[in-house]
Amino acid sequence: MHLTLEEHIDLQPHNTFHLPCTARYFLRIHHITQLPPLIHSPLFQSHPHLILGSGSNILFATPEYDSIVLKNEIPGIEPISSTTPAHTTLKVSSGVLWTSLVDYCLTHQLGGIENLALIPGTVGAAPVQNVGAYGVEIASVVDSVEVVDLRTGETRVVSNQECEFGYRDSIFKRGGRGGEWFITAVRITLTNAGHGYVPNTMYGSVRETLEQDMGIDIDRVSIQDVAKAVCRLRRRKLPDPQVLGNAGSFFVNPLLQGQMSEESFVQRHPGVLVFRRGDGRMVVPAGELIEACGWKGWRASCTGVYEAHALILVNYGGAKGKEVLELAGRISDSVWDWFGIRLRTEITIILGQ
């Protein structure tokens, strides 16, 4: 398939932070067949590369990016099997928007990802972060991930176990071999909602929205009801990136481990919320730590911390990536000084070369 290479492309329209950055080379990937000739080209072998989806989880902290940006636009959602009368497996191309996949599942009465409604980004990016929200992670529905090795051009299928999913983590995020794989498709197995499927309403705010705001009997809730409740919650707490530049949660909620045990943390900071994940490990909401340090609603010129959610850093217009990164560093330092916890960024940060 023909490769159309663009040069000196402004990436501001391609990232939800709306930060300026010029890519030396830019290539839209519409089909897997474009990858082998690209991989063996002298240009690709002599330049670093970046795989970009919808740019909803990235911070360009440099005005110039002397690399090849591969814009993933591979389309398609294909039902490939009904493993049982109650389950359906889909092969979803990696360039599909995550919200489009959720809409597809709601239309076709397929349950399992309705709690992940309104999450920005592409399907290909979802397993990298092991995206999760309101009690559900994508790891719970992934069968396998199809990839092309950008070092050799070989294709392979990575099983759920081989993905090494963790909390906002996977083998694809850690660099090494996983960092050299271009995800081309994700296979997920969902439950047909008409076969006794019970949506996950265990998350407190979801249940409260369903019962109190929407007046829905929790015993008769549908996947559409849950998706609507989640959308209400997300719109209430998170800014629309089309209106206010942001990349969602900037930091990962830290786990309490090692010397910082649950007991010692609660004794030292009794006013800070701590909750237990499904695997039993204790987590502190990073937004609570940031808010306790006085950052919520803070603003300086073009950058700041969102007034309704301290975990969201925003671009009020005209900000540079370096300014957002400096703000993030100041926030992280203050959390460390006050709580003895080092925050880890959830988003990908692109620095100058």
Joined together, the tokens standing for residue 119 give: 């999450």
Helix (H, G, I), strand (E, B) or coil at 291: helix
Angle between helices 223-237 and 98-107 (to 10 degrees): 150
d(Cα 226, Cα 240) in Å, to the nearest integer?
A: 20
Give the C-alpha separation, 224 to 312, whole Å. Answer: 27
- The residue annotated as part of the active site, out of 144, 170, 249, 332, is 249
Radius of gyration of the chain (CA): 21
Structure tokens at 311: 């975990």
* Residue 24 bears catalytic tag: no
Cβ-proximal residues to 266 (8 Å cutoff; 6+ apart), any chain: 274
State the catalytic residue, choosing from 94, 137, 168, 232: 168
**From 114, 137, 288, 346, the catalytic residue:** 346
Q: What is the C-alpha separation between 153 and 130, in angstroms, rounded?
A: 25
Q: Find how far residue 31's CA is from the centre of its chain.
A: 23
Contacts of 250 (CB under 8 A, 6+ apart): 311, 312, 313, 328, 345, 346, 347
Catalytic-residue membership of 346: yes
Confirm whether 291 is a catalytic residue: no
Report residue 55 as tokens.
């740019």
Looking only at the bridges linking them, the beta strands covering 58-60 and 348-350 are parallel
Catalytic residues, by residue number, are 168, 249, 346
